[in-house]
Amino acid sequence: MQQTQNAMLWRQAFVVGVISSLVGTGEANQPPIFTQGMDYLQIPEDTAVGSSVYTLSATDADSDPLTFGVTGQVSMRLFSVNPSTGVVILQTPLDREQTDEYQITVTVSDGTNPQVQQTPTIFITDANDNSPLFQGIPYQVDVNENDIQQTSIFRVTATDADQGIGGTVSYFLEAGDETKFEVDRPTGVVSLKEELDYEVSSVYQLRIRAQDGGGSLGGSTVFQSSTTVLIVNVVDEDDEPPLFLGQPFSTQVNEDTPVDTAIITINARDGDYGINMPIIYSTEGDDGTFSIDSITGVIRLAKSLDRESKRDEGGVYSFDVQARENSSYSRSANKSVHITVVDVNDQIPTFYNGTGNSPQNYFTATIPEGTSAGIPLGGLDMRVEDNDEGDNGRFTLTIDPEGSLYFEVVPSTVYGQAAVNIRVKNSRLLDYETLQSVHFEVIAREDVAAEHFSSNATVLVTLEDTNDNSPVFNQSKYDLSVAENSPDGTSVGTIMATDLDSGEFGEITYSLQGSGSDKFAVNKLTGVITVAKGDELDRETIPFYFLTLLAKDGGGRASNVQLQITLLDVNDETPKFYRSYHWNIVVRDNTVETFQPLQILAVDIDEGTNGNIKYLIVGGNERGGFTINEDSGVMNLTQPLDYEALDGQDEFHLVAQAMDEGQPPLYSATTVVVVVQVIMTDNENNNYVCLSDTGQCLQNTCQNSGNCSSCCTFVHNFCTCPAGYTGNFCEIDVNECASRPCQNGGACFDGINSYHCHCMHGYTGQSCESDMDWCATNPCPFDWICQDEITYFTCHVPGSFHPNRLPYGCSAASCPTGMKCRDNPGFFSCSLQ
């Protein structure tokens, strides 16, 4: 702070000194002086757009009217200045967590002198505009029952992006069992206040709130908070005696029941629900009338009944059954069994809702799809009763075959009455996308009484959808095409994904990523891909675009697919001649035979018929002496040349045209100069006429630096030609392009004893045989990953990245000379311009 103030004072002193010097030298108009600038200014980030944040002031020695302003892209985006009053107005919302300071430039002008500028730094101060965010959710912990109190079982952690007290976080237990748990406010450590009991509750849900220390926001003091849920699963320990099921153990039996008849089954289980040790049954206090199976708990009649012998007891036999764990602890429990000797079974099992007294046979429940096996249906308050005594009141509970695929009922056997608990059996089948509800029947049926009375209750379970499906494309890759230079808005294709979830979880939005994605646009709702920058789509520069289409549903699940967009050729390239043509040819007198082929060559880099070239002569051929093959460009004489008829004309200037087959066709022309040398022959033998009797070459008729030998001795070949030429007179330029040496679409240009390949973008080498390795020179920033493509390369940020760091800012040094830099999320690309 002190350094900033000193620098401010020094700048003001310097400006005042300079102006004072200028004033002392004469009567010239003086520039204005800031008397109140913005050398140091703090603005809260919650300042409303349109608010006045400062007032500039200045003086002018000449009393000229002053105009205040602001200059520079950043300055003008952030602030506006009233030119007359100097009031500085905020133009755009501020966010300290994104940018905490700006440097702007303000100006004052008297209309005569150059503007006076000042460049202050604006500091953005914090406001309490962020809520704490829990880290590492969801939270779940297992705790052994009987753990001592004050034991720390878990720690929740939340962070707040604000500064100072507004960024401090305190924790509170909002909901749950506050008698058993507590949360340390400063640290978020969750501790036990008393021991847990698995048999009382096997799971707890604690809602924990994280709240910051409060701070100013919009002129008021506010506290920001968020909540999360901690699931505490209680782990069972072997600390409970056996638990009898289906109580009370009372039944009625006909007095003429045969001996060894099963009267009642005692059902007990380990009182520790998570352990379930085997149970051994025995009786105590009975007179030998009944016996019990030590393994199954089935009580049988051991001797004949005599109801009259129990008349004083109301015909009731009473004794205890002991259930003992078959374990080292040998914990046991006793229950009384009462067997009444009666004659009639007249009651049927009946379903009730909770504690109500009116029968009910229709129940409903709602659970999320995929609920784990063993979880009971919440809100299903079902009870079943059979008021008969003894075995006449025993019945089984089952679920019909369809419902039993998904659920199971507990208990399966009931004596008299029981609360009915229906649990999930197969969570995999509870898929909302397959079925939205399940109807089934719970059947209560007497399994001992001869009448087998029964009744049914209908249960409707409705499934709630969860976001368990990601968007799916029906192809692993899509190939699309569009004509180069297509107008903006031209449709390229429609690609849609499907999501089996419902509601917002099934709503999909689309976006494009990858180098060149700015050339195209995608409708985020329909998946229609269109051209966005058609004037930049040039097939001859970049023939293909490889992009990624991202599909994201309303719950944040996402999928992507690769796109290849091929640019279709349009006829936008004109055929080009890459050399001039000046031929010296030798022909026999009165013949059309030349000693070298005359061929012109043009190149059109368009594809297909757009690149096919037809040749014709459009000028200089008034006598009709030459013709041209429209496909090959080879020119020939159409009639014999008579040396005497040439009348001194031995040089012809022909205009040849190359036209492509596009619609409409494009064409270009070149001038072909043909210098004709006629060799006279004798009329008798049609041999070349030598110019001396000795057969020596007194006049060299060989072209292109060829050396003449004896024309009389060698009738058909009397010239020794240099490399690159052939023919009787060295008049033929050997076409090194005839073998098509240029690869990967390169254009070949013939030279003297050589050829040159004009390579397509992305290829190099004498014959365009090599894919240019852009990454060989390590062009990316340190530690970034380079990916080589045909006409471009990309630099990817390593590992995970923070959104505030991207997109990567392209600069003049980002790409090699001649390449264009483009920003993308997570990477930038360099491509040929």
Same domain, 589 and 700: yes
For the four alpha carbons of 811, 814, 820 and 822, in that order, the dihedral sign comes to negative
Say what the pLDDT of residue 685 is: 42
Q: Categorize the per-residue pLDDT at 593 as very low, low, confident or very high, splitting at 50, 70 and 90.
A: low
Strand extents, DSSP E, 242-361: 243-245, 249-253, 262-265, 267-269, 279-284, 290-292, 298-301, 316-325, 332-341, 350-353
For the four alpha carbons of 125, 128, 131 and 135, in that order, the dihedral sign comes to positive
Same domain, 622 and 699: yes
Q: Is residue 40 part of a domain?
A: yes
Q: Categorize the per-residue pLDDT at 806 as very low, low, confident or very high, splitting at 50, 70 and 90.
A: very low
For the four alpha carbons of 477, 481, 485 and 491, in that order, the dihedral sign comes to negative
Say what the pLDDT of residue 298 is: 93
Same domain, 155 and 213: yes
> Mean pLDDT, to the nearest integer, of 288-305?
90
Say what the pLDDT of residue 479 is: 94
How many independent structural domains does the chain possess?
Answer: 7
Nearest of 774, 812, 770 to residue 794 by alpha carbon: 774
Q: Is residue 741 part of a domain?
A: no
**pLDDT tens digits for 507-531?**
999 999 998 999 999 999 999 999 9
- Tokens encoding 697: 């070459």
**pLDDT tens digits for 401-433?**
999 999 999 999 999 899 999 999 998 999 888
The CATH number of whichever domain residue 54 belongs to comes to 2.60.40.60
Say what the pLDDT of residue 780 is: 84
203-212 vs 169-175, strand pairing mode: antiparallel
Say what the pLDDT of residue 253 is: 87
Annotate 663-683 with DSSP letters as a single string: SS--EEEEEEEEEEEEEPB-T
> Mean pLDDT, to the nearest integer, of 86-115?
88
In the predicted structure, residue 307 carries a pLDDT above the cut 70: no
In the predicted structure, residue 339 carries a pLDDT above the cut 80: yes
Same domain, 654 and 797: no
User: SS3 of 167, please?
Assistant: helix
Q: Categorize the per-residue pLDDT at 13 as very low, low, confident or very high, splitting at 50, 70 and 90.
A: very low
CA atoms within 13 A on the CB side of 262: 11
The total of other beta-carbon atoms located within 10 Å of residue 133's CB is: 15
Q: Categorize the per-residue pLDDT at 12 as very low, low, confident or very high, splitting at 50, 70 and 90.
A: very low
Query: Of 72-86, 89-103, 187-201, 674-688, which range is least confident?
Result: 674-688
Same domain, 210 and 164: yes
Same domain, 383 and 457: yes
Residue 154 CA: distances (Å) to CA of 151, 168, 173, 561, 754: 9, 20, 13, 41, 80
Nearest of 656, 632, 526, 641 to residue 581 by alpha carbon: 656
**306: CB partners within 8 A, 6+ apart:** 255
Q: Is residue 266 part of a domain?
A: yes
Q: Three-state secondary structure along 742-773?
A: CCCCCEEEEECCEEEEECCCCEECCCCCEECC
Say what the pLDDT of residue 300 is: 94
Q: Which of 320, 341, 362 is the last residue of a domain?
A: 341
Same domain, 589 and 721: yes
Q: Is residue 700 part of a domain?
A: yes
Say what the pLDDT of residue 150 is: 66
Q: Is residue 760 part of a domain?
A: no
Instruction: Please give the residue range of the domain that contains residue 414.
Output: 350-464
Q: What's at 49, amino acid-wise?
A: V
Q: What's at 765, amino acid-wise?
A: G
> Mean pLDDT, to the nearest integer, of 717-737?
76
Q: Categorize the per-residue pLDDT at 380 as very low, low, confident or very high, splitting at 50, 70 and 90.
A: confident
Query: Is-above-0.85 flag for pTM?
Result: no
Same domain, 43 and 158: no
**pLDDT tens digits for 604-618?**
888 888 889 999 998
C-beta separation of 516 from 830 below 8 A: no
Q: Is residue 595 part of a domain?
A: yes
Spatial separation of the C-alpha atoms in residues 708 and 728, rounded to whole Å: 10
C-beta separation of 668 from 657 below 8 A: yes
Q: Across the strands, what pairs with 300? A: 262, 291
**How many Å from the N-terminal Cα to the C-terminal Cα in the chain?**
47
Q: Categorize the per-residue pLDDT at 351 as very low, low, confident or very high, splitting at 50, 70 and 90.
A: very high
Residue with tokens 């679920």: 399
In the predicted structure, residue 684 carries a pLDDT above the cut 70: no
Say what the pLDDT of residue 356 is: 80
Q: Is residue 421 part of a domain?
A: yes
Q: Which of 71, 101, 125 is the last residue of a domain?
A: 125
- Tokens encoding 756: 């040159």
Q: Which of 464, 490, 520 is the last residue of a domain?
A: 464
Same domain, 646 and 690: yes
Q: Nearest 10 degrees: CA dihedral of 259, 262, 264, 265?
A: 140
The total of other beta-carbon atoms located within 10 Å of residue 507's CB is: 15
**pLDDT tens digits for 108-156?**
998 888 888 888 888 888 888 888 999 989 999 988 887 776 689 899 9
Question: Could you say which DSSP state residue 9 is in?
Answer: H
Q: Cα 388 from chain centroid?
A: 65
Query: Of 203-212, 688-697, 699-708, which range is least confident?
Result: 688-697
Same domain, 165 and 272: no
In the predicted structure, residue 25 carries a pLDDT above the cut 80: no
Q: Is residue 418 part of a domain?
A: yes
Please provide the average confidence, as pLDDT, over all residues in the chain: 82
Same domain, 62 and 84: yes
332-341 vs 249-253, strand pairing mode: parallel
Same domain, 45 and 80: yes
433 compared with 189, residue with greater pLDDT:
189
544-553 vs 558-568, strand pairing mode: antiparallel
